[in-house]
Structure formats: structure tokens, C-alpha cells
Structure 1
């Protein structure tokens, strides 16, 4: 007997919060770990996973990078994401370590980009006031 193929993270079955939680859990990351890496409060992660709030675009980019999924997959389950829970192949500790390092680097890059934007805005404001 053939069992139907279930796309655990399809837009019809899962929500944004389900996909965030699923991707986070697939990486073995706690909500607290994710909040620290993104630089947001734990209650913010909980709100996202419970579909009570959604991240702003800059945090969405960093979130997708940390979870190693595409932004479009997080938003509407299209693009690069994760497989359902019974379809995930186990990863070796070495691969997990490398993925963690990549996620950390992506997060640092996103935070640096945010900082650069703030400094640029201050510079523009200062230049206008000096004219």
C-alpha cells in the first residue's frame, strides 16, 4: 500500500512559525540559542514561532541565513527549505559544526550590515546639518 507523500512544510499545512520552529529544531538549536545569535529577545522568537509576530526584513534575512533556508521558504514554503521530520538524514558532527560556523558568520555579516546602515544614516544627517 502506498502512503501519500506529505509535504510537512507546505503553505497549506504549516505557518511561518511552524517553518521557523522546524528549521531551528532540525539544526538542534534552542529558541534561546537562536535569540542570542539573532540579537533579539527570547520572547520575540517565541512570538514568531507562535505566529503572533513576524520579523522585520533585516531580521528575516538574518533568520533565513542562520537557519540555512531561503527567505521565500520561510514566508510561503517555496524555495530551499528543510524536509519533513521523517525525511531528514542525520548529519555528522563535523557537518553540524561547519553549518554552525556558517550560520554564525551569516549572522555577523547581517549585524554588520545593519550597523553600516545606521552609521551611513548618521553621516547623511551630519552632512545635511553642516550645509
Structure 2
């Protein structure tokens, strides 16, 4: 794929801008007042936002509606993360790893119960 914004689809531009903004699909969907599945449909080009949601989406992602629609204008630029941001990411990652380990342990215990029956 070419690196020009106009060569990307609307869904790809939405996804890129969301990634640059640091928002998850769930966070952005909540701010837009839509279901996460609706946002997934937009990002995968299965559907498109109505004009009122497109304008709101552009504002939340700090890009112009024109850039979202046709790739003209200034694309979103990722800022260098501050060290405090990285610390927050490390803390979140540690928390998620602990949760994942807990779930893995629970799955193993349930599998043992099933195998023991």
C-alpha cells in the first residue's frame, strides 16, 4: 500500500487516526455514543458514518473531516510518548499480564475438573 493518505480507505484512515490518538475502539465508540461493533464496521469499510458522526469523529481524533473522507489535508501525527506515558503503559501491561495469568490458572483448574469427572 502506498503511504499517501488518499490511497487509504476511509476505514483505514479512521483506524490510523484512532491509533495515533491512543484510543481503543471501545473508548472511541463510547465517546461517539455508538456501539463498538459500529466502529469496527467503519474501520473495516463495511459501513460508513453519517455526516454528523463523521464530524464528531474528526473532532475527537483531531483531524479534518476532509482528511477522513478523502485523505486531503494534514494526517494525524503521533507525538513522542513522554516518560510518564511509558510508565503508565508499563503499569497497565503489568496489570494485564497478572490478569492473563490469573485467567490461565483458572482455565487450567477448570480443565482439570473436566478431565477428572
Q: Which runs of 5 or more residues in structure 1 are unaligned? A: 1-5, 95-131
CA RMSD of aligned residues (A): 2.3
Cα separation, partners in 2 of 1:62 and 1:93, compared to 1, 3 Å: farther
> How far did residue 91 of structure 1 move?
4.3
Which residue of structure 1 aligns with residue 15 of structure 2?
21
> How far did residue 29 of structure 1 move?
0.5
Asked whether 1:39 is paired with 2:48, we answer no
Query: How many angstroms apart in 1 are the aligned matches of 2:38 and 2:51?
Result: 14
Query: How many angstroms apart in 1 are the aligned matches of 2:55 and 2:75?
Result: 14
**What is the SS of the residue equivalent to 1:11?**
helix
Correspondence 1:1-131 to 2 at 5 A: 8-12=3-7, 14-83=8-77, 88-92=78-82
Q: Do the aligned partners of 1:9 and 1:19 also contact (CA within 8 Å) in 2?
A: no
User: Which of the pair has more CA radius of gyration?
Assistant: 2
> How far did residue 79 of structure 1 move?
1.3
Q: Do the aligned partners of 2:5 and 2:13 also contact (CA within 8 Å) in 1?
A: no
Query: How many angstroms apart in 2 are the aligned matches of 1:17 and 1:64?
Result: 13
How many residue pairs end up in the alignment? Answer: 85
Query: How many angstroms apart in 1 are the aligned matches of 2:75 and 2:42?
Result: 17
> How far did residue 27 of structure 1 move?
1.2
Decide which structure has greater helix share: 2
Q: Do the aligned partners of 2:13 and 2:68 also contact (CA within 8 Å) in 1?
A: yes
